[in-house]
Amino acid sequence: MKMVFRWWPHGDDTVTLEQIRQIPGVSGVATMFSDIPAGEVWPKETIFALRDQVHAAGLEMEVIESVNIHEDIKKGLSSRDEYISNYITTMKYLHEAGVKCICYNFMPVMDWFRSQLELPLEDGSFAMAYDHSYASGLSLDRIITSMMDGSPDMTLPGWEPERFPAMAKDVEFYHGISSEEYFRNITYFLDAVMPYAEEYDLDFGVHPDDPPWPLFGLPKVVCSAESIRKYLALNNSKRNGLTLCTGSLGANPENDIPAMAKEFASMGRVPFVHLRNIKHTSEKDFHESAHLSTEGDLDMYAIVAALQENGFDGYIRPDHGRRIWSEGSRPGYGLYDRALGACYIQGLWEAVEKSRR
Ligand code: DNO
């Protein structure tokens, strides 16, 4: 297992590489270029310059989160071939720079969604929250402003402002296509890309839908054990894997996360894990919590044990943290609470390892 930490380059993060280097046990970053629009080739020199910067700070750059998929690929338009070809060129350059794992998602139009970015908790910290009746009643304009309100200075991952003008039209487009057709578009992409993932030694981890149920009338892709099985079977390459995001999948109390960790890790199809905890306030309402099992509804020990006992040998990163100690940062991506999470997860990992001897 390698512990990594999500980080944005080019001044788009309040956290520095030097700070990340001082978190015990963290070997590298999961990073991306948020300033390059989806569909464009990532220039080789830009990738290499970033790799050198990360290495100079004493860290590795083996995980990319994310190389985003252009909407035309998701929609299955004829222009997709060019975007897929660009994607493959980016994969080649990433491989040449030593990257081993690509996290991506196939959520139509938008990435993860929260109804509140700064819910005050009893202990004086702030966490991101989701209220289902509020979210399901939102208009698209309101969706965008609600995600932007709490993040005035930085783009939220998956919510890059240049995408906003097309969002309303895109949502409408998906209302007109069936889930079968959407899955055919995914298969087309995977069939084109997986042979290169093998050639370039790159593990792909699709990120689950967050929240893991239908919202805004958009097709849902990866939200339950059954849908993960379906996704992995779309292309049988071992490189076609899952980013096991415990907080995304765990938002549905019916999802048994330790069982999922066991099933998919034992298949060798989990290259990357996002570990975080959440606390339900009702079946579909929740807020994010500190990583500890005692702070949320997920049994983090059971998840770590299931991963380790089933041969997981990939990357783990602490996922969203709360805002604590008055830190200003990207929502969910401050230094402090994620650093506490990284240490806690490593404590669990060591405990499981020693108890198995
Ligand atoms: C949210 C993240 C996601 C994730 C993408 C992967 O904080 O976990 O934005 O990076 O879905 O493509």
Instruction: Please tell me if the CB atom of residue 231 comes closer than 6 angstroms to any atom of ligand 1.
Output: no
- Among 155, 161, 216, 193, smallest CA distance to 69 is for 193
Confidence of residue 143 (pLDDT cuts 50, 70, 90): confident
- What's the Cα-to-Cα distance from 54 to each of 60, 86, 91, 220, rounded to whole Å? 6, 24, 19, 35
**Cα–Cα distance between 264 and 262 in angstroms, integer?**
6
Q: 112 in ligand 1 pocket by Cβ < 6 Å?
A: yes
pTM for the whole structure: 0.96
Contact between 316 and 2 under an 8 Å Cβ cutoff? The reply is: yes
Give the ligand 1 atom nearest the CA of 111: 11
SS3 159: strand
How confident is the model at residue 147, as a pLDDT?
67
How sure is the predictor about 151, in pLDDT bands with cuts at 50, 70 and 90? Answer: low
Q: Whose CA is nearest to atom 9 of ligand 1?
A: 157
pLDDT tens string 242-278: 999 999 999 999 999 999 999 999 999 999 999 999 9
* CATH numbers and ranges of domains, the chain: 2-355 (3.20.20.150)
**CA–centroid distance, residue 357 to ligand 1 (Å):** 35
**What is the band of 154 on the pLDDT scale with cuts at 50, 70, 90?**
low
Ligand 1 atom having least distance to the Cα of 65:
10
Does the beta carbon of 207 sit less than 6 angstroms from any atom of ligand 1?
yes
Confidence band, pLDDT 50/70/90 cuts, at residue 148: low
Q: For ligand 1, say whether the CB of 72 is within 6 Å of any of its atoms.
A: no
Write the CB contacts of 137 (distance below 8 Å, at least 6 apart in sequence): none
Does the C-beta of 321 come closer than 6 Å to ligand 1?
A: no
Q: How much is the pLDDT for 28?
A: 98
Distance 111 CA to ligand 1 centre (A): 7
- Å from CA of 121 to ligand 1 middle: 24
Please tell me if the CB atom of residue 5 comes closer than 6 angstroms to any atom of ligand 1: no
> What phi and psi, each to the nearest 5 degrees, are found at residue 274?
-105, 115
pLDDT in tens, 84-136: 999 999 999 999 999 999 999 999 988 888 888 899 999 999 999 999 998 88
- Report CA(112)–ligand 1 centroid distance (Å): 7
List, edge to edge, every strand of the sheet that includes 286-289: 116-120, 126-130, 286-289, 277-280
Question: Mutate which of 4, 64, 70, 210 to test ligand 1's pocket (most atoms within 8 Å of Cβ)?
Answer: 210
**Neighbour tally for 166: CB within 10 Å:** 12
Q: Is the CB of 34 under 6 A from ligand 1?
A: no
Question: Mean pLDDT in the chain?
Answer: 94
Cα–Cα distance for residue pair 249/212, rounded to 1 Å: 6
Q: Ligand 1: does its nearest atom lie under 6 Å from the Cβ of 129?
A: no
Is the pLDDT confidence value at 81 over 60?
yes
The residue nearest atom 12 of ligand 1, judged by CA position, is 104
pLDDT digits (tens, 9 = 90+) for 7-45: 999 999 999 999 999 999 999 999 999 889 999 999 999
105 lines ligand 1 (CB under 6 A): yes
157 lines ligand 1 (CB under 6 A): yes
pLDDT above 60 for 152? no
DSSP letters, 293-346, are GGGSSS-HHHHHHHHHHTT--SEEEE----B-TT---STT--SHHHHHHHHHHH
**Which string of b and e fits 35-47 if b means at least 16 CB within 10 Å?**
ebebbebbeeebb
Residue 297 Cα to ligand 1 midpoint, Å, equals 21
Q: What is the pLDDT of residues 161-204, one digit of tens each?
A: 777 778 878 888 888 899 899 999 999 999 999 999 999 999 99
Pairing of strands 203-207, 277-280: unpaired
Atom of ligand 1 nearest to the CA of 105: 12
Query: Does the pLDDT at position 149 exceed 70?
Result: no
**CA dihedral over 30, 35, 36, 39, signed as positive or negative:** positive
Q: For 75-82, what is the mean pLDDT?
A: 97
**Which tokens sit at 339?**
């650093």
Cα(130)–Cα(273) distance, integer angstroms: 22
Q: How far does residue 16's CA lie from ligand 1's centre (Å)?
A: 20
